Amino acid sequence: MDEIAAPADGDADAQAAGSAKGPVRAYHEAVLSQRQPKVTDLLPVRPLWVVVLMLAGLTGIAAIEAIHVHAVSLPAIAGSELLAPLNADCRGSLAAWYSSAMLAAAAALAIVVFSIRAHRIDDYRGRYRIWLWTAAALTWLSLDAATGIHSAIGLALNLVTGQQVVTTSVTAASMLTWIVVYGLVFGALGMRLVFELWNSRLSLTALLVAGFLYCDAALLELEIIQAPANLISGTLESTLTLLAHFSLLAAVGFYARHVLLDASGRLKVHIDTDRKGNKSKRSKLKVVKAESKQRSAATPQPTTTNPHQGDAPPRASSSYQSTAAPNSMAAKSGVTISKNNLTSPDGYDDEEDDDNYGDSNLSKSERRRLKKLARREQQRRAA
């Protein structure tokens, strides 16, 4: 206590006073807010911790299902109703508590994602607000998993709409009603989250798996598909529901890790430099082609008479005309074609795109010469 109450070396006011007067600090300075870990520090960033937490979640599901199978398999004894919390089909069981805990953790992670995404500078339309709706929806699902309030909602909707249901079909009608309502509301929210999670493959995959498992659980509830006869009653339904909740938690957790790494600049971004270079070369080649075609159209083409036109192939005449066009252009612009000035002054690689330049009837050397003349004319005008 004497060391804690003593003034620190850097505390000028306490040193000037010479003694510690007034109330004595009962806790060390490490308790101050600037020295406490932030909420984002609790997110698992390292892949090892991510794998450990996923294995821990799956182990919890396996333990609950094993307890359920053992509890249901026991023979009927006096006081067996006290084992209801071990039955995954009953409300208030271990399965309900575990589902509620996972959904509550997902809601907390959604708030963390919202606090990070709100600072993204290119989100002009405020798409980050979807995480507030996600947190609210996950909180409601956590309450529903613990209490089973969805059945009461289904029955209330049937009574409000004035449907006359027989006593034997009340459960089936209310079940169909709440499944349809939940499917419309949370399905629309899930489709919006698909676009939000598009940049994170792990999150998107986990969300799609969760949606698939929820659909299977709903089909089992509606008895559209049947569980295998050799399984204990309620095992498949509870397993699918728990796995769906776990996949939903994993989707939100993966995206929280993704946005944290992205905000801190530790996210690896793949840039295809070859594709970018090829695109710039193609755009440069298109500009050179357009300029050369304009100059060729403005230069008159010389006409020659070939006395052996009937004997010579037609390619000889087209080659002579295409060769004469660059010569006339060079004579008009004052450029002398020689071996020295055929070299590229700016180091542009002529072998890359000379096959795609000019008319297809021109030879390779003619296309190369036409391209070089067009480049020299462009440089002369720029000078």
Q: Does 310 score more than 50 pLDDT?
A: no
**Tokens coding 299:** 């230069």
Q: Are 52 and 38 in contact (CB under 8 A)?
A: no
The confidence band for 54, taking pLDDT boundaries of 50, 70 and 90, is very high
Residue type, 144: D
* CB 322, CB 365: distance < 8 Å: no
Q: Could you give the CA distance from residue 359 to residue 366 in angstroms, rounded to a whole number?
A: 10
Q: What is the C-alpha separation between 92 and 86, in angstroms, rounded?
A: 9
This prediction's pTM: 0.64
Which of 159, 183, 186 lies closest to 173, judged by CA?
A: 159
Band (319; pLDDT cuts 50, 70, 90): very low
pLDDT range class, residue 313, cuts 50, 70, 90: very low
pLDDT beyond 90 at 81: no
Q: How many CB atoms lie within 10 A of CB 67?
A: 18
Place of tokens 């004497």: 2
| Alpha carbon distance 353, 131 (integer Å) | 50
Q: What is the mean pLDDT of residues 317-327?
A: 44
pLDDT at position 290 over 80: no
Q: What is the pLDDT of residue 327?
A: 47
Percent of the chain scoring above 90 in pLDDT: 33
pLDDT band per the 50, 70, 90 thresholds, residue 170: low
Q: What proportion of the chain, given as a percentage, has pLDDT over 70?
A: 67
- Here the tokens at position 85 are 């919390």
Q: What is the mean pLDDT of the chain?
A: 76
**What pLDDT does 136 receive?**
96
- Categorize the per-residue pLDDT at 173 as very low, low, confident or very high, splitting at 50, 70 and 90: confident
**pLDDT band, very low/low/confident/very high, at 142 (cuts 50, 70, 90):** very high
- What are the tens digits of pLDDT across the range 91-119? 888 999 999 999 999 999 999 999 999 99
What does the pLDDT read at residue 359?
54
Q: What is the pLDDT of residue 24?
A: 73
Neighbours of 141 (CB within 10 A): 22
Distances (CA, A) of 85 to 72, 75, 141: 11, 17, 20
25 and 7 Cβ atoms separated by less than 8 Å: no
Question: What confidence tier does 331 reach under pLDDT thresholds 50, 70, 90?
Answer: very low
Reading the block at residue 218, the tokens are 């709903």
Looking at beta carbons, which pairs linking 175-182 to residues 24 or more positions away fall under 8 Å?
175/151, 175/221, 175/222, 176/222, 177/153, 178/150, 178/151, 178/153, 178/154, 179/154, 179/218, 179/221, 179/222, 181/153, 181/154, 181/157, 182/150
Phi, psi of 247 (to 5 degrees): -65, -35
Residue 25: pLDDT over 50: yes
Q: Please enumerate in sequence order all residues whose Cβ is within 8 A of that of 255, keeping only pairs 6 or more positions apart, or say none.
A: 113, 196, 197, 200, 203
Structure tokens at 220: 């089992």
Which range of 10-14, 145-149, 304-308, 360-364 scores highest in mean pLDDT? It is: 145-149
pLDDT (tens digit per residue) in 257-273: 999 999 988 887 655 55
With CA atoms as reference, report the closest residue to 66 among 91, 97, 95.
95
pLDDT of residue 205: 94
Confidence of residue 334 (pLDDT cuts 50, 70, 90): very low
- pLDDT band at 320, cuts 50/70/90? very low
Give the three-class secondary structure for 362: coil
